[in-house]
Chains A and B, each alone.
Chain A
C-alpha cells in the first residue's frame, strides 16, 4: 500500500505540499503555503429553501449514487475509450521527485521571463531546525539568486523558481516552455515602424498617468465589493435570510487569518530553546496534540514521520509509522 501522497485539504493555511529542498547535500524540509487568498465571499449553491447542496456522483445510465470509493480516473485515448489510471501508478512514475526539490541550478532572480510565472507559495520550515532554511534564504537574497528545479505533485510535474525575500523563501511555479506560445505561434504580424509623432503623442499620454509607486488599491475587486454590499444590506434587513445547519467545511475558509497561520508556521521549530532536542514542533502545528498518535490517519502519521525524517518511512505500515515517530520524537 503506498503512503498517501500529500495533504488533501487545500484550504488556505494548510500546506499545499510538504517535502525537502535539497541544495547540494544540505536538506531543508519545508511546507508550501499558498501566497494568495480570495477576498470574495463565495456564492454557494442551495436548494429553493436555502439548504446548502452537496455535489454527488451518479452512474450515467441508471443514475445510481456512487461513493467516492467507486470512482476512478481514466484517460480518454479515443472517443469514449478510457484507460483507467490510479494514483498509486501515477506516483510510482516519479518516486524520486515526489518528496524532494533538488536545487541544482541558480540564476539571477531577474532573469525569469514574467510570462512563465504561475503561482506563488511561501515556504515555511518543516524540520527541527530553521538553520539551513535561514542560511539558504540569506545567501539567495544577498546574492539576488533564484534556484530552479522541478518536482512532481499530484500527478503533475512542476517547474519552480525558489526565491528569497525578507528572509522568507518562496516558490513560484513556472510554466514549462512548451506551454508558452511565441509570437510566431500566435501568428502576430511583423512589426511596422510607427511615426515618431504618433509615438510621442502616446508617450505624453503615458507620462500624464505616471506614478512611481504601484498602489494595490487600484486593483480593487469591484464585483466582490458589489456582492459584499448587497449581502450586508440584505443581512441587516433580514431579507431572504435563512438559518440552516450547514455542513461545515465546504467553503469555510474565510474565517482563517492566513497571516497569523503563516507567521506561526514560519517560526518553525527554532522557537524551541536552543539545544533542546525536541523535534515535535512541526508535529504540533496542525493539531496541537503531539502525543496522541493513535488517533491519526496514516496520511497524518506519514507527514510527521517525514518531518522527523524517519528513514524507510515510505514502506511502513500505520503501526510501524507510529512506533518510529515515538522513537524519533
Chain B
C-alpha cells in the first residue's frame, strides 16, 4: 500500500491526555507518569534516570539534580 493511503498512527494523534510539561495532547496509551510527582507527561518530555531506572518529568529531574 502506498504511504499516503495509511493513516496517521495513533501515537501521533491528538487525544484526551495532556502533557503537563509541554501541554501537548495525545492518546491515553502514550502517557508517561513521573515517578516523582505522578504528573502526566509525554515520552518526549520525561527523562529516564539510568541508575534508578525511574522516569521523571523535567521539573522533578531538576529538583533531583539540585539535591
- A: residues with CB less than 8 A from B are 1, 4-6, 8-10, 34, 38, 43, 45, 55, 68-69, 71, 73, 76, 78-79, 87, 119, 153-156, 250-251, 297-299, 318
Q: For chain A, what secondary structure do more than half of its interface residues adopt (helix, strand, loop), or is it mixed?
A: mixed
The contact of A10 among B3, B6, B15, B50, by CB within 8 Å, is B15
A73 and chain B: residue at smallest CB distance: B11
The contact of A76 among B7, B8, B16, B48, by CB within 8 Å, is B48
Cα distance A245–B8 in the bound complex, in angstroms: 23
B37 within 8 A of A: no
Q: Within 8 Å CB of A298, what residues of B? A: 1, 5
Cα distance A246–B14 in the bound complex, in angstroms: 16
B25 within 8 A of A: yes
Q: Within 8 Å CB of B14, what residues of A? A: 10, 250-251
Cα distance A55–B15 in the bound complex, in angstroms: 13
Q: Within 8 Å CB of B10, what residues of A? A: 5-6, 8, 10, 154
The answer to whether A155 and B29 touch (CB under 8 A), given A10-B16, A38-B16, is yes
Which of chain B's residues 2-37 have a Cβ closer than 8 Å to chain A?
3, 5-16, 23-25, 27-29
Contact A154 B13, beta carbon cutoff 8 Å: no
Contact B1 A9, beta carbon cutoff 8 Å: no
Q: Within 8 Å CB of A73, what residues of B? A: 11
A67 and chain B: residue at smallest CB distance: B3
